[in-house]
Amino acid sequence: MEPAVLQFIELLAVIAAATFGVLLARRKGMDFVGVFSVACMTAFGGGTLRDLFLDRHPLFWIQHEHYPLIVFGLAAVTSLARRIPKLVERALYVPDALGLGLFSVVGTGYALESGTSWFIACLLGTITGTFGGVIGDVVCNEVPSLFRSAPLYATCSFLGCWVYLLLRSVVPQQILAISVGIVLIVLFRLAALYWNIRLPEFSPADVDDRRGP
């Protein structure tokens, strides 16, 4: 069902996403409980939303029970380090991009199998790939970085999901469509990081500033 290479990518991706959570929680001055909790949210948040929205049970981190254990170990090991070098974060960009690709494409596939429309399937794929970070940011009391002008992330996922869906409907080999989708998302994401490609952001000053009547 799941080739070994995809399982290996998934493992890398969980570790990368969890490590981003560890870094985020440490920046906020949390203790171990916070570090482990935020790491779980960044690693499992997107997939949990997808599973709840599509009514898929057991949730993937309940089924793959070793993932929370791995995140626990990661939080414990990193706790021993007084300082995490900046280099670690940069080294995570590649596994994180792989995870973005894998989770987006797999999430899109799950959604389609549940009978959603193509547009909804791509939305749910993108949510799977990106909303762990949104939940982590919200819980850490920050405006989600996904929603601000930064190198393209959700956009890479969303466009790659469409390519995957188109391929899936024309080529008979599932694994080919999945692979091309993932590779495209990874390349697009790394290109966005390298050339610093961003969407424009709205200037708050351009909006009238009070909500009330």
User: Cβ neighbours of residue 71 under 8 Å, at least 6 residues apart?
Assistant: 14, 18, 36, 39, 40, 43, 44
Check if the beta carbon of residue 146 is closer than 8 Å to that of residue 133: yes
Chain positions 145 to 184 lying near a copy of itself, rule: CB under 8 A, are 145-151, 153-155
Check if the beta carbon of residue 196 is closer than 8 Å to that of residue 108: no
The answer to whether residue 4 forms part of the interface with a copy of itself (CB under 8 A) is no
CB of 205 to a copy of itself, least distance (A): 9
CB of 184 to a copy of itself, least distance (A): 18
The answer to whether residue 25 forms part of the interface with a copy of itself (CB under 8 A) is yes
What phi and psi values does residue 109 have, to the nearest 5 degrees?
Answer: -65, -45
The answer to whether residue 39 forms part of the interface with a copy of itself (CB under 8 A) is no
What is the DSSP code (8-state) at residue 166?
Answer: H
Q: Measured from the CB atom, is 7 or 63 closer to a copy of itself?
A: 63
Task: Give me 109's structure tokens.
Answer: 């596939």
Build a one-symbol-per-residue string for 45-74: x at contacts with a copy of itself by CB under 8 A, - elsewhere. Answer: ---x---xxxx-xxx-xx--x--xx--x--
Given candidates 6, 11, 73, 114, which one binds a copy of itself under the rule CB under 8 A?
A: 114
The rounded distance, in Å, linking the Cα atoms of 210 and 36 is 38
CB of 107 to a copy of itself, least distance (A): 13
